[in-house]
Structure 1
Amino acid sequence: MAPFVRRARPKYAAAPLSPACLHTLRVPGKFAARLAGGEAGAAVEVLLVSPLGKVWRAELRRAGSGGGPWQLGGGWAEFAAAHGVGAGWSVVFRVERRGVATVRVFDAAGCLARFCTPHAGVAAGKSRPRFIRVLHTDDFEKMKIPDEFVQEHLTGTYPSSQKAMIFSPLGKFWHVDLNRDQPGMLLGDGWARFLTAHNLSEGNILVFRYEENMVFTVEAFTQNGCLKEYGAAAADMTDDPIGQPSTVPQPADKELGVSPVKKKRKTRNGNTSLVVYHKKPNCSPNSVKKAVSQKKLVSTMPHRSFTKRITSYDLTSLFVVKGLFCSSVGLSGACEITLKMSTDNKRSWPVWFNIANTYGYIKGPGWKRFCRENKLEQGDCCTFSVIETTVWHVTIVSS
C-alpha cells in the first residue's frame, strides 16, 4: 500500500522569541512568499487571526531598502503585546489563504497559551492541547514533556499507560515508552529511533497535538522555522506493528549488520506496542546468518495493517478494503469482524464484512455504531491492524 504523506498548509514556527522579535519578527522567505501570495512589492499588508478570533493588521516587508530578509512589523508588536507574548514564548503561523494567517501562541513552558474570551461573534470551538519543543542534544535519547502539560492533560491517563503513540509527519504510527520523571514524564525507548527516521536534529522544532488516550500528532519544523517536508521515499520508513512487515524494501544480505537505522526488525508482543531490533556493526557470522533467516521469514509474511483517511462515503455507505489486503489476511467471504480500539481492549464492535468482485467492504449497523461511538469524522485517519483474521485493532487520529 502506498505510504500516506500528509500535505499541510504552509506554516512557520518562531521558537523561542527573543526580546527583539516582539517588535519585529524575521520571517523565512519561503513562508513569506506563500503568505504574500507572490506579490513582488517591498511591503504587503497581511491579516493575522488571533487565538481569540480577532483579526489584526500587520505589515510584511523586506528589511533595508527592500532587498533584505522578510520581516513582520507594522502591527505585529501590538498583536504580541495584546496577547501577553513575552521573551521565551513561541508562535506558529499557518497560511489560510493569500494574505491571511492564523496564529497559535505558546507560553514559556511550551504549552499552548489559553485566552479567556473569544472575539465577539466567533465560536469558542474546542482546541486540542498542544505543546512545542525545540530539540537540544539532551532530547536525543529522552525528551521531557512539559510539567504543566502533564499535570493538566495526562495525569488521568498516566501511570496506567506505559506507552505513547505518535502519529508522525510521514503518516505512520510510532510507539514510544513513557518514563516517569517526577513530577513530569519522559518519552523514552523508541524516541531516538523516531528522531533518526525523521531526520530530526538539534534546532528542529516539534509541535505535539494531544488527541486522546496517549496518542499524539507531531509536526516537524526545520531550524529556520519552516515546516519540514518529507517525500514518498522517506514515508517508507516506519515503526510498524510487531509481527508485521513494513513497506520498507529489505536490504541485500551484504548490507546486514552495517546500518542500525535501515536494518529494523519488527515484531508484535501480546499487546500492540512496538519493539525494534537494531543490527549492530561487526556482527558475527552466526548473527548475520540468523538475520538473513529472519529476513526471509519476514518477506513471506503478508502486510497486516493499513492506514486510511475517512471519507463521507465510508461513514454513510460502506467502508472499502482493498482485495489484495483481504486475501493476504485470509478474508475470502462474508463474515463478522470484531473491531477493538488499540488503546482499549475492553470494548469491541462486531461489524459485517463481505467480499465483492475486486474488493472487500464493511457496512451495516455495527459499522455505523463503531463510527458513532468513537466520534469518527470525515478526514480522520484510521490505522487497522489485523491481530487475527477476524479481530482488528483500530487507532484513530482526528483530522
Structure 2
Amino acid sequence: MASTSRTRTGRGRGRGRGRGRGSGSSSLPPPPSTLPLIIEEFFIVVYEDPLVKKKLPNKFADYLHGQEPAKVYLRAADYGPRLWTVEVLFDGQGRMYLDKGWEKFAIAHGVDFGWFLHFKYEGDDVLTVKVFDGTMCRRYYYSDGEDTDDESDDDVKPCIHPL
C-alpha cells in the first residue's frame, strides 16, 4: 500500500516551514510598505489651458515636504544645457504647482491640449521633461547652441552638471 504521509516542499498552497515563503532567508524584496518612498518620475497630461500653472502629483509634493523649493529648473530631455526657471506655488493644502515661468517653457516647447509630459527629478531642484504630443509620440527638440531670445537670461540657471 502506498504511503499516506505527505512531504512539504514549500510550494503550492501549503504553509511549509523552513522552505519557500515561510523562511526568513528568502531572497524576495521587502514588501512595498517597508521601503522608503522615492518619487523620481511622474507625468501630467495637459487637460486644460497649456499656458496656465500646472499641478504636480500630490505624492511628489509629499516627497518634497520640508524641503519645498521656491523654484525648480526645467530641462527638455536631450535639448542641451538650457534650464528654464519656474516658480513653484504651494497652496497650503499639500498641492504643488508650476507657476511663473511655466508659460515660457510651454510656449517654447509648443505644449498643447492632450499632450503628455514625463518629468524626472534629477535633484538640485532640476526636472528633466520629455514631451509627447497629442499623437502620443515623443517630441524631440534641438539646440543650435545659441539663445535666440531677445529676453534676459534671468530665467536660465547655469548648467551645474555636464551632460
TM-score range normalised by the length of the shorter chain: 0.5 to 0.7
1:176 corresponds to which letter in structure 2? V
2:161 corresponds to which letter in structure 1? I
> Match for residue 140 of structure 2?
229
> Match for residue 98 of structure 2?
187
Give the whole-Å Cα distance in 2 for the aligned partners of 1:219 and 1:164.
Answer: 16
Give the whole-Å Cα distance in 1 for the aligned partners of 2:83 and 2:110.
Answer: 16
Structure 1 residue 128, shift from structure 2 partner: 6.4
Give the whole-Å Cα distance in 1 for the aligned partners of 2:76 and 2:109.
Answer: 9
Extract unaligned runs of 5+ from structure 2: 1-27, 31-37
Structure 1 residue 167, shift from structure 2 partner: 1.4
Give the whole-Å Cα distance in 2 for the aligned partners of 1:266 and 1:154.
Answer: 30
Give the whole-Å Cα distance in 2 for the aligned partners of 1:154 and 1:264.
Answer: 34
Q: Structure 1 residues 213, 157: closer, same or farther in 2, change over 3 A?
A: farther
Q: Structure 1 residues 162, 137: closer, same or farther in 2, change over 3 A?
A: same
1:213 corresponds to which letter in structure 2? D
Give the whole-Å Cα distance in 2 for the aligned partners of 1:179 and 1:197.
Answer: 21
Structure 1 residue 225, shift from structure 2 partner: 1.5
Normalised to the residue count of structure 1, the TM-score between the two structures is: 0.29
Normalised to the residue count of structure 2, the TM-score between the two structures is: 0.66
Contact 1:165 1:173 (C-alpha < 8 Å) held by counterparts: yes
Selected match of 1:215 from 118, 121, 126: 126
Contact 2:75 2:84 (C-alpha < 8 Å) held by counterparts: yes
RMSD: 2.8
Structure 1 residue 173, shift from structure 2 partner: 0.9
Aligned pair 1:154/2:154, yes or no? no
Contact 1:157 1:214 (C-alpha < 8 Å) held by counterparts: no
Structure 1 residue 227, shift from structure 2 partner: 1.2
Q: Structure 1 residues 137, 267: closer, same or farther in 2, change over 3 A?
A: same
Structure 1 residue 139, shift from structure 2 partner: 4.5
When you count helix as a share of all residues, which structure comes out higher?
1
Contact 1:147 1:183 (C-alpha < 8 Å) held by counterparts: yes
Q: Structure 1 residues 213, 155: closer, same or farther in 2, change over 3 A?
A: farther
Matches within 5 A, 1:165-184: 165-169=73-77, 170-171=79-80, 172-181=82-91, 182-184=93-95
Contact 1:157 1:213 (C-alpha < 8 Å) held by counterparts: no
Alignment coverage as a number of residue pairs: 126
> Match for residue 247 of structure 1?
147
> Match for residue 396 of structure 1?
161
Contact 2:50 2:111 (C-alpha < 8 Å) held by counterparts: no
Structure 1 residue 267, shift from structure 2 partner: 4.4
Contact 2:116 2:136 (C-alpha < 8 Å) held by counterparts: yes
Contact 1:128 1:211 (C-alpha < 8 Å) held by counterparts: no
Higher RCO, 1 vs 2 (CA within 8 Å, ≥6 residues apart): 2
When you count strand as a share of all residues, which structure comes out higher?
1
